[in-house]
Structure 1
Amino acid sequence: MPAPMSRLAQRRLRLSALLLLGVVLSLLPYRHFTPPADLLKAVRERDFLSVHTRNTPTTYYEGRHGPTGFEYELMWRFADHLGVSLTLDASHHVMSVVEAVRREGDLGAATLPLDPGQEGLIFSRAIFDLQPVLVYRRGLPPINDPTGLAGLEVGTIRGSGADQALRGLQADYPELGWRESPEVEVPELLSRVESGNLDAAVVYDHQFRTNRIFFPGVERGFAIGQPLSLAWAFPAQGGLRLQQEANRFLQQLQHEGALTDLVNRHFGHDDYLEYVGARVFIAHLHERLHDYTALFREAARSTGFDWKLLAALGYQESHWDPEATSPTGVRGLMMLTLPTAGEMGVDDRLDPVQSIDGGARYLRHIKDRLPDSIQGDDRLFMAMAAYNVGLGHLYDARRIVEQLDGDPDSWEDVRDALPLLQKREWHSQTRHGYARGGEPVIYVRNIRRYYEILSYVDRSQQQYLQLNESNGEEADDGPLFEIVPPIL
């Protein structure tokens, strides 16, 4: 009997093949499928759970280390709870998820609002709250209540539940009208608001908080109605056992605190960068990054880093200014000290070619010098911290972690110890003494957030560079949006 982690690893290896299988099956001619009367039994007999979902930042997407997303992590844990593998069909929009669950099973997990009135479906227990909010384009007069919507173009996703919040609002404000479509997703709505194609949109609060860093031209307005509940959908014809097992699984996660931890990890980091900082970053992304993208890519090829990570580090150092100079004499786009430049063979620190290449090789040099016991992202984050504060101070922080009975190979523990280097009671016991230990913590945090933005831009069909080049030109809506008129 394999150990639980080995079994989990085996299932992860099978996921890519099952995802491909799901895509292939979706291309076959449609034949009506009736879910078995005992869907839980069928899932276990076939040894995989088939889930219909959406490719969105809050649900499921391909991250740096493979599939990720809040509901993806829940689905994966549920499949493991059942002792089966997981296969996904992520080709859906919100309304097609519901239809696919009705006709094919097994489960729909796609930011679906709990709606017991949906024909042919049963829902799990509530997973967490969905609060609809109105967001609007920065520069418009503040919109703090529905009276501010007069004459504005408002958009939302049909079938998401946010559209029902608007219908509830329309009962009290019959002059309200809007556009809706099931085929858009939150990032596209926000990009349309930011570019002026729409004036405002109604989405869920957690969706806005997750995406707002990528759309600094969009402002939060006001909450609409009472929160709805996110839930999973199951085919009613498949019996109650799979739904009941999902409820037991979700209740256990909630009881253990794991559900709260998962929500906080995916939706609780909205304050990493100030809105103003994000706006400046994206402005510089449009104005400066294209001059250095090829250099970052070349440096990445020679050092094994993701070019977007090197670009994020370069932005944190100099805002991509090749002539940047600090009061302490650190210079250039990657802000190399004179000794570091000499060590890396950089003759001219103000030459962006040499600076980017030298900075990337220096980060690789630091990372390679770290103890072998530090692995994965912990190793990368500690290397970035040492780029800022120096290896000596990083090692001092690791020794403090050991004194505190923590794990010196864990970035989280070292991150908590670094600020202690500012306190005499701690730095007096170290080899390298005082350091402004809070700075590398912020430094790594900011680079990670800049990297998230660059990764979003790199994978999104609504890239910021394209939006910038369009000069705010409105896209052709065509038949995409259906107009919901006022009821006056």
Structure 2
Amino acid sequence: MINYGSKPYRRTTIPSDPRSKSLISACFLMLLAAFLGGCGKEEWHVPPFASTNELVIATVNGPTTFYEDSQGNYTGLEYDLANLFAQKIGMKAKFVLYANREQIEDAVIHHKVHFGAAGLTIPPDGSTDLVYGPTYLGVIPRLVYNSTGPKPSGFESLSGKRIACIADPAIREIVSSLKRKYPDVDFSEMKSESSDELLSSLSDGTTDYAIAYSNQIDIAAHYYPNIAAAFDLAGPRRLSWEFPKDADPALIRKVQDFFDGIEKDGTLQRLVDRYYGHIYRLDQVDIVSFLGSMDKELPPMIAYFQEAESLTGIDWRLLAALSYQESHWDPHATSPTGVRGIMMLTSDTADRLNVSDRLDARQSIVAGARYFAKLKDSIPPEVKEPDRTWYALAAYNLGTAHLLDAMKLAKQLHRNPDSWVDLKDTLPLLSRSGYFGTLSHGFARGGEAVVMVANIRNFYDILGKYKQPSPPMLGANLLR
């Protein structure tokens, strides 16, 4: 395990292949299913595990579980884990979206799905109708406040205040105890399982405080910079998949073997890092500044970034995130080392890409995008996405030669040179004489590249939430 600081939507299945059905269509089907469910009681059951080649998995739509990313693909830690499990055992995966945990447990108990995978904490007292698989992530329940007001030091000062929380058995038990101790505090439970909806309501003042888990808070803070954790309410709670009490023992064994395997080979750590490994780099001031620039400086540049996407196939929002990290979207930015413009191009790079004026925003953006695309092409084919993108971002900062040196060093240190989780620990060693002296290209500020990649990932996440992708016709005329 990794420690980290109504009517159900029945039969709303989403194939693991995101190209098969859009999330918009899925949501329409969910609403239709809910409506039809009110017309008459419907019972259905999935085929037993031993007699099917398709796993049906209950989950919720949210940033820590299952959602559609900026490219229109399904993603999320629970989606990745469950989909990978299905692939490992030679089965297909279908995901059924439910509104909250109560509905998921009903679906699991009544065999409407094979299991639930939705960031589910193991209840303190367990359940006679459910069994739980291996634990894979530790999260901490915390009180969250709106940082435009004072930070509370305890519940004694919250009399008459509204505190909202999601429907979760571990949090429900905490709240039950708090209600007895602080009867004047107004605790309420949301029917939705969406942590984003909960923390958005705190950000906009709909509720005074909220109770959520540490992973949910840290992700939401990038979109709502005025929320912050006040204090812990309990120790870590463990996340697990849940199964009916009479689940096929063969399924339980395969799940146990799966988690044993991905923890041993580092896959679990890499997946957790994909969603949480970059979120600590930015503070509240950074995020507020970025959101302000996104509304003021970015709009005149969007057409240029979208043009660059049409030439390279690289999401304009990723290019914009890279540009913000480089210049804060200042077309006239100039560094002491002579790199200039909104994409901070060197004179040599500009010459190779036929840029006549590095301070011309359009020229700089298109050239920077082409340069970034060339860097991605130069990464060894063993490096797969999304790590391939992170490698290219690092190379944009320190060059391909130093990146290849870091990969060579990672291999010497018995780390995986094709994994960003391992490479980001190796890159800072390029500034230490005991290491860079043995490498072909010597000293480099590898730690700076690691910070840069983390920042860009955060900016890209924020842009993905607030800015729409390019129209489908863009990206047709690829040019390197």
Does the TM-score normalized on the shorter chain lie above 0.5? yes
The aligned residue for residue 297 of structure 1 is 306
The aligned residue for residue 130 of structure 2 is 122
Q: How many Å separate the matches in 1 of 2:291 and 2:17?
A: 38
Confirm or deny: 8 A CA contact 1:107 1:232 kept in the other structure. yes
1:366–1:119 Cα change, 3 Å? closer
The aligned residue for residue 473 of structure 1 is none
Confirm or deny: 8 A CA contact 1:15 1:86 kept in the other structure. no
The aligned residue for residue 3 of structure 1 is none
Confirm or deny: 8 A CA contact 2:60 2:193 kept in the other structure. no
The aligned residue for residue 336 of structure 1 is 345
The aligned residue for residue 84 of structure 1 is 91
1:185–1:15 Cα change, 3 Å? closer
Letter in 2 for 1:319: H
User: Which of 103, 110, 117 is residue 118 of structure 2 equivalent to?
Assistant: 110
Q: Which deviations, in whole Å up to 9, do the C-alpha atoms of 1:126-165 show, x marking residues without a partner?
A: 6255532110001211112111322333222235643442
Shift of 1:311: 0.8
Confirm or deny: 8 A CA contact 1:254 1:260 kept in the other structure. no
Unaligned runs of 5+ residues in structure 2 are 1-14, 470-480
Shift of 1:218: 0.6
Q: For 1:110, what is the secondary structure of its paired residue?
A: strand
Shift of 1:224: 2.3
User: Which of 95, 103, 122 is residue 102 of structure 2 equivalent to?
Assistant: 95
Question: Is 1:33 equivalent to 2:43 in the alignment?
Answer: yes
Shift of 1:375: 5.1
Confirm or deny: 8 A CA contact 2:161 2:208 kept in the other structure. yes
Please list, as runs of the form range in 1=range in 2, the aligned pairs for 1:350-389 lying within 5 A after superposition.
350-370=359-379, 376-389=385-398
The aligned residue for residue 51 of structure 2 is 45
Q: Which moved more, 1:404-413 or 1:319-328?
A: 404-413
Shift of 1:53: 1.0
Q: Which deviations, in whole Å up to 9, do the C-alpha atoms of 1:98-121 show, x marking residues without a partner?
A: 333344243222233444989983
1:130–1:165 Cα change, 3 Å? farther
Q: How many Å separate the matches in 1 of 2:158 and 2:151?
A: 10
Confirm or deny: 8 A CA contact 2:121 2:239 kept in the other structure. yes
Q: How many Å separate the matches in 2 of 1:198 and 1:417?
A: 44
Q: Which deviations, in whole Å up to 9, do the C-alpha atoms of 1:199-246 show, x marking residues without a partner?
A: 21111222213332332211101222465554444445xx3435x742
Shift of 1:15: 7.6
Shift of 1:396: 4.2
User: Which of 230, 239, 246 is residue 221 of structure 1 equivalent to?
Assistant: 230
User: Which of 441, 448, 451 is residue 442 of structure 1 equivalent to?
Assistant: 451
Letter in 2 for 1:445: A
Q: How many Å separate the matches in 2 of 1:13 and 1:166?
A: 36
Q: Which deviations, in whole Å up to 9, do the C-alpha atoms of 1:168-187 show, x marking residues without a partner?
A: 20111111113332136111
The aligned residue for residue 263 of structure 2 is 257
Letter in 2 for 1:33: E
Q: For 1:57, what is the secondary structure of its paired residue?
A: coil
Q: How many Å separate the matches in 2 of 1:415 and 1:87?
A: 34
Please list, as runs of the form range in 1=range in 2, the aligned pairs for 1:28-427 lying within 5 A after superposition.
29-30=36-37, 32-33=42-43, 35=45, 42-63=48-69, 66-80=73-87, 83-103=90-110, 104-115=112-123, 121-125=129-133, 127=135, 128-159=137-168, 161-183=170-192, 185-225=194-234, 228-235=237-244, 239-241=246-248, 245-246=251-252, 249-250=255-256, 253-254=259-260, 257-258=263-264, 261=269, 264-265=272-273, 266-267=275-276, 269-370=278-379, 376-398=385-407, 400=409, 411=420, 415-427=424-436
Shift of 1:296: 1.1
Shift of 1:67: 3.4
Q: How many Å separate the matches in 2 of 1:357 and 1:334?
A: 9
Q: Which moved more, 1:193-202 or 1:219-228?
A: 219-228
Confirm or deny: 8 A CA contact 2:57 2:96 kept in the other structure. yes
1:291–1:180 Cα change, 3 Å? farther
Q: Which moved more, 1:12-21 or 1:82-91?
A: 12-21
Letter in 2 for 1:452: D
Confirm or deny: 8 A CA contact 1:344 1:358 kept in the other structure. yes
Letter in 1 for 2:58: H
Q: For 2:222, what is the secondary structure of its paired residue?
A: helix
1:255–1:82 Cα change, 3 Å? closer
Letter in 1 for 2:454: R
Confirm or deny: 8 A CA contact 1:105 1:235 kept in the other structure. no
Q: How many Å separate the matches in 2 of 1:154 and 1:335?
A: 46
State TM-score, norm by structure 2. 0.78
Q: How many Å separate the matches in 1 of 2:406 and 2:268?
A: 30
Q: How many Å separate the matches in 2 of 1:76 and 1:252?
A: 12
Letter in 2 for 1:454: L
Q: How many Å separate the matches in 2 of 1:188 and 1:342?
A: 49
Shift of 1:342: 2.4
1:377–1:88 Cα change, 3 Å? closer
Q: How many Å separate the matches in 2 of 1:375 and 1:49?
A: 26
Q: For 2:43, what is the secondary structure of its paired residue?
A: coil
State TM-score, norm by structure 1. 0.77
Q: Which moved more, 1:423-432 or 1:449-458?
A: 423-432
Q: For 2:74, what is the secondary structure of its paired residue?
A: strand
Q: How many Å separate the matches in 1 of 2:405 and 2:269?
A: 30
Letter in 1 for 2:296: E
Count of aligned pairs between the two proteins: 442
Q: Which moved more, 1:430-439 or 1:255-264?
A: 255-264
Letter in 2 for 1:97: I
More helix by share: 1
Q: Which has the larger radius of gyration?
A: 1
